[in-house]
């Protein structure tokens, strides 16, 4: 067993943070982990340095982000008009297409070295989805996956009723992760009208608030989601 495995993970709630500021913050952590891994290449086996892990939670002001494999045509409002609805736009370096972030939505950025946990990107994505599925179940919402699509869905087995409640998009380099998931809790869903969410034209978007017909306790949802992630990844939280 590798004695340098480090499952200690620092949890940081960034609160409501500008998208660019949060992107810069996680990029800095991401690059620091990569730097340690680069230095380890020149170290003997018994002198390897452990890499750190971070679990970031936040909300963002209204913003649309476009993944590197996305199509800007899926933003159906001209970029120059976004200021009229108080929103901004960023092409970014995660996978996936276009999505929306805004107040009332929990955004989770795990910046972790998967070599401390397991080295399987597919498993990583499914475990993030599972953390959301288990969180929603605690609130009486049954959810699941649609084959070939990422994210978490309601009525996932009915193509006519399926609607997305959580989007995923990640970036990895040498098993280090950034970006993550966005769970719609009390999200202003009308902002999704200005995009083709995740580039999928025939699927609706929903939120916990809409499904349960009441505003949900954001801090309670955050706590449960954090607990599920920590449990599934067997993190040692600090």
Helix (H) or strand (E) holding 33: helix 19-40
Nearest Cα residue to 137 out of 212, 206, 197, 189: 212
> Would you say 167 and 181 are in contact if contact means Cβ atoms under 8 Å apart?
yes
Instruction: Based on the residue annotation, tell me whether 198 is a catalytic residue of this protein.
Output: yes
Active-site position among 167, 178, 198, 229: 198
∠ Cα 42 170 225 (to 5°): 110
Helix (H) or strand (E) holding 37: helix 19-40
Write a three-state SS string for 8-32. EEEEEEEEECCHHHHHHHHHHHHHH
> Would you say 231 and 3 are in contact if contact means Cβ atoms under 8 Å apart?
no
Q: Which residues are catalytic?
A: 198
């Amino acid at each position: 067993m590798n004695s340098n495995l480090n499952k200690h993970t620092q949890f940081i709630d960034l609160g409501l943070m500008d998208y660019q500021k949060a992107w810069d913050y996680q990029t800095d952590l991401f690059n620091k982990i990569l730097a340690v891994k680069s230095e380890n290449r020149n170290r003997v086996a018994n002198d390897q340095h452990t890499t750190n892990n971070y679990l970031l939670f936040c909300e963002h002001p209204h913003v649309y982000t476009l993944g590197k494999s996305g199509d800007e045509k899926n933003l159906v409002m001209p970029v120059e008009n976004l200021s009229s609805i108080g929103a901004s736009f960023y092409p970014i370096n995660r996978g996936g297409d276009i999505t929306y972030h805004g107040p009332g939505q929990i955004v989770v950025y795990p910046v972790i070295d998967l070599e401390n946990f397991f080295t399987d990107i597919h498993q990583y994505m499914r475990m993030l989805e599972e953390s959301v599925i288990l969180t929603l179940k605690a609130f009486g919402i049954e959810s699941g996956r649609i084959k070939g699509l990422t994210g978490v869905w309601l009525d996932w087995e009915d193509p006519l009723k399926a609607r997305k409640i959580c989007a995923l998009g990640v970036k990895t380099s040498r098993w280090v992760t950034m970006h993550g998931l966005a769970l719609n809790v009390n999200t202003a869903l009308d902002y999704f009208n200005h995009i083709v969410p995740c580039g999928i034209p025939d699927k609706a978007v929903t939120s916990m608030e809409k499904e349960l017909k009441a505003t949900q306790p954001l801090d309670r949802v955050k706590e449960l989601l954090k607990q599920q992630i920590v449990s599934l990844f067997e993190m040692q939280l600090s």
